[in-house]
Structure 1
């Protein structure tokens, strides 16, 4: 099994915190769709005839595409690959794009899952983030999708930013529960270099982000999700039992995937490939019949460290036998380093599986980094 990711590099406007690759100019949108179709054809052998279990439209804002364009991309994939009958096909969408007409049009495509970028149900927060939608559109978009028959919906929320009091954060999660979505992704606001937010903080136009606030609100989130019967199956992701994102879960479990579009990454077990993060250069490369990408052959150390980083983020944990399969003798070396985190109560061992405790999840990246080879 494998997955295909399609990066749609356009947005209506730039969120102040975002450092993903996108353009707010839609000038080359039609050319981009054609280039994406061409890359799908050029990359048809990358996954070595693996059955495609998931297709994921990310960005940017994939909901800026017409339903016919999304259908065309999916049809091109199905014409070149064996796609599972029950494939999960996700479209990231902004609430303001999911009007009645758009949802009805998407209902006629194979898309069967929405990832809706809500971020907050408060207008002042959305304005602070420079989001294109308002709170009433967030709630309405989810309900419209549900009324149209889309049951597999996830929403995104952000915590840990200066405007978000604990009371508002509690209200945001309560609204998510009221909407009865089966999946929630929640991210701590991080200040990335070269973003508007980083510039605002540097020039003292905005206060710095508080690590303590983020930690406190993460704990609030974990407690609330558990009370509502959600599984915390990955650091930033929660779902009702068995309703986790199959596409993203495959990333964390080392399944092969092909990334299409500017800045998209691919992985086939032995190599990692990444496309140029520049729309004009991507289009120029595809015009010559070549995919503008760089490739890295993964070393044993790369594969060990990647497995440590991704597996520890999940409820399934780090399997010491899988580590040993990558490189003999590594199990004992890792356990020797891990004892510090057992003593702190951050790591738990059950047989040959290591998982983070709730307090350990606050330090997931630090723990993984200390365990790297």
Structure 2
């Protein structure tokens, strides 16, 4: 038997981050309809991965953690009935800090989810607000602590660099907070400015200064050096 992976896209978010160019829906009125469509596609594709063990299942978005946990469970139940999930299958769900609580993580664990990806992006309140993120610094810290103390033992945190008004000091503050936690993985992404995003429009209107290529390179090299010393990434 060969192995394969499944990606499940959940296109719901509470609000739009200023750098986001993804298509998503704020209203969850049609979440049941969406999940039923996903399940229908899973059933239609039952022969597509025939006799293949699943190495991973990944719930991305959007914000998968925004929808009801029983719907995530419903998707996993149908995947399990059609494909081969083993004890070694990595099942990840992307989460926002303001969605995380002990009850939800217990529910995730009980349905088989064994890896969390937490979209922190920054621990700086001013930066989070400027990006129109739905959480604040305290919620970000609490979410990581709740995750670490949950029964899900594979925790990844997302941090961004090359952000407007983010100097090395602010970047280091977020990185050092991450290094202080016993997490398994740290994903670091450089900001890209996509056309027609709120960020792009504000840069054109001179409301936000565009980070220079030099800042990107300096922060990237700084992160690489720091991560090598900390032996993380």
- Write the distance in 2 (CA, Å) between the matches of 1:7 and 1:49: 23
Counterparts of residues 105-116 of structure 1 (less than 5 Å): 105-116=107-118
Instruction: Please tell me whether the aligned partners of residues 161 and 210 of structure 1 are also in contact (alpha carbons under 8 angstroms).
Output: no
What corresponds to 2:97 in structure 1? 95
Measure how far apart 1:227 and its partner are: 0.6
Matched residue, 2:12: 10
Corresponding residue number in structure 2 for 1:137? 139
Give unpaired runs (5+ residues) of structure 1.
231-237, 239-373
**Which contiguous aligned blocks of 4+ residues in structure 1 show a shift greater than 6 angstroms?**
none
TM-score (norm 1): 0.60
Cα offsets for 1:150-188 (capped at 9, x unmatched) = 220101011002211111111111011101211011111
**Which digits, 9 at most, give the CA deviation of each residue in 1:206-263, with x for residues without a partner?**
1112111111111111111111112xxxxxxx2xxxxxxxxxxxxxxxxxxxxxxxxx
Structure 1 position 48, deviation (Å): 4.2
Q: State the distance in 2 between where 1:162 and 1:148 align.
A: 34
Aligned mates of 1:5, 1:21 — CA distance in 2: 17
- SS where residue 170 of structure 1 aligns? helix
Q: Relative contact order: is structure 1 or structure 2 higher (C-alpha 8 Å, sep ≥ 6)?
A: 2
Find the counterpart in structure 2 of residue 31 from structure 1.
33
The root-mean-square deviation of aligned C-alpha atoms, in Å, is: 1.1
CA offsets 1:13-69 (integer angstroms, 9 cap, x no match): 000101123111222111111111111111222234321110000000000122211
TM-score (norm. length: structure 2): 0.96
User: 8 Å contact 2:28–2:67 — kept in the other structure?
Assistant: no
Match of 1:60 among 59, 62, 68: 62
Q: CA deviation at 1:86?
A: 1.2
Q: Does 1:180 align with 2:182?
A: yes
Aligned 8 A contact 2:148 2:183 in 1: no
Q: How many residues align?
A: 231
